[in-house]
């Protein structure tokens, strides 16, 4: 058990809809990361937050947004969903992520499987 | 085009065989990690390598970071069915934590 909790585990919705994925990081971790994993693909970095502030952006679509709340949990909002958005969405957390702090290992949740029909 | 290219993409071997998975890039990384992912679960960190030429061993797994910190390899000795899974390499380029993942190597070890 990584200590990172993601809900829901599965989500089935229709094109054009909007969904919210939730992540609770490991206790003590300040950084949260969101990744997308399509079928048979590696993980694509979407966005990172550190202590409530956006820290880095990857290949995140404008239809997608995220935030990290004061209690450090994070939500990933996906809107105007398309068939191609069907994927596994992973959240990961780590202790620190500021420049100069060096690398701290990422701990991944078990993901939310999104199916858009 | 992936920043990190993993090869092979798929590997099916018999129990007891040895194998090597490669992770290559034209970019330099400050650190490189190897993860293993099983179906229905998130990736789990196996090792982090930081220094060029570094070799780390984890039981039957040997990880090497290239001298120029652009590539890495994972060697498994006497593979077992429990080694079956998706192996992912990931590199960090800056003194931060943003990781770029390779496409993964899906390993199946048959008993």
Q: What is the pLDDT of residues A43-66, one digit of tens each?
A: 899 999 999 999 888 889 999 999
Q: What is the band of A100 on the pLDDT scale with cuts at 50, 70, 90?
A: low
Q: Which residue of A has its CA nearest to B104?
A: A42
Over 60: is that where the pLDDT of A86 sits? yes
Average pLDDT of chain A to the nearest whole number:
91
**What pLDDT was estimated at residue B95?**
54
pLDDT, tens digit, 9 for 90 and up, residues A28-43 = 999 999 999 987 567 8
Cα separations in angstroms, B89 against A76, B45, B76, B98, B100: 25, 10, 15, 13, 8
Cα separations in angstroms, B22 against A32, A66, A116, B10: 28, 34, 34, 12
When CB atoms are compared, the residue of B50, B94, B104 closest to A42 is B104
Higher-scoring residue by pLDDT: B57, B99: B57
**What pLDDT was estimated at residue B96?**
57
When CB atoms are compared, the residue of B88, B95, B106 closest to A100 is B95
Instruction: Provide the percentage of residues in chain A whose pLDDT is more than 70.
Output: 92
Mean pLDDT across A82-86? 95
* Strand B10-14 relative to strand B105-110, pairing: parallel
pLDDT, tens digit, 9 for 90 and up, residues B29-78 = 988 999 999 988 999 999 999 899 999 999 999 999 999 999 999 999 99
Q: Which of A41, A43, A94, A111 to probe the B interface (max B CBs under 10 A)?
A: A43
**What pLDDT was estimated at residue B97?**
65
Tokens of B46: 């196996």
CB contact under 8 A, B88 and A42: yes
How many A-B residue pairs are in contact by the CB < 8 A criterion?
74
Q: Which residue of B has its CA nearest to A33?
A: B98
Q: What is the band of A23 on the pLDDT scale with cuts at 50, 70, 90?
A: very high
User: CB-based contact (8 Å) between A7 and chain B?
Assistant: no
DSSP-derived 3-state class of residue B2: coil
A103/A13 Cα distance (integer angstroms): 37
**What pLDDT was estimated at residue A75?**
98
B45/B62 Cα distance (integer angstroms): 14
Q: Which residue of A has its CA nearest to B99?
A: A45
């Amino acid at each position: 058990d990584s200590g990172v909790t993601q809900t829901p585990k599965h989500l089935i919705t229709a094109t054009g809809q909007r969904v919210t994925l939730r992540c609770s990081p490991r206790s003590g971790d300040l950084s949260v990361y969101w990744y997308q994993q399509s079928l048979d693909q590696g993980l694509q970095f979407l966005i990172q937050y550190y202590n409530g502030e956006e820290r880095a952006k990857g290949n995140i679509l404008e239809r997608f947004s995220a935030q990290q709340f004061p209690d450090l949990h994070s939500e990933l909002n996906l809107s105007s969903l398309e068939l191609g958005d069907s994927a596994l969405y992973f959240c990961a957390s780590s202790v620190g992520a500021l420049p100069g702090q060096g690398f701290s290992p990422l701990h991944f949740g078990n993901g939310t499987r999104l199916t858009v029909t | 085009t992936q920043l990190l290219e993993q090869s092979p993409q798929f590997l099916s071997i018999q129990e007891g065989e040895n194998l090597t998975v490669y992770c290559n890039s034209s970019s330099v990384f400050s650190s490189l990690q190897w993860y293993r992912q099983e179906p229905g679960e998130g990736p789990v960190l196996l090792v982090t390598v930081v220094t060029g030429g570094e070799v780390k061993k984890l039981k039957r797994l040997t990880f090497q970071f290239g001298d120029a910190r652009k590539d890495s390899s994972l060697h498994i000795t006497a593979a077992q069915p429990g080694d079956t899974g998706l192996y992912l390499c990931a590199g960090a380029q800056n003194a931060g934590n943003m990781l770029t993942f390779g496409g993964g190597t899906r390993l199946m070890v048959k008993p």
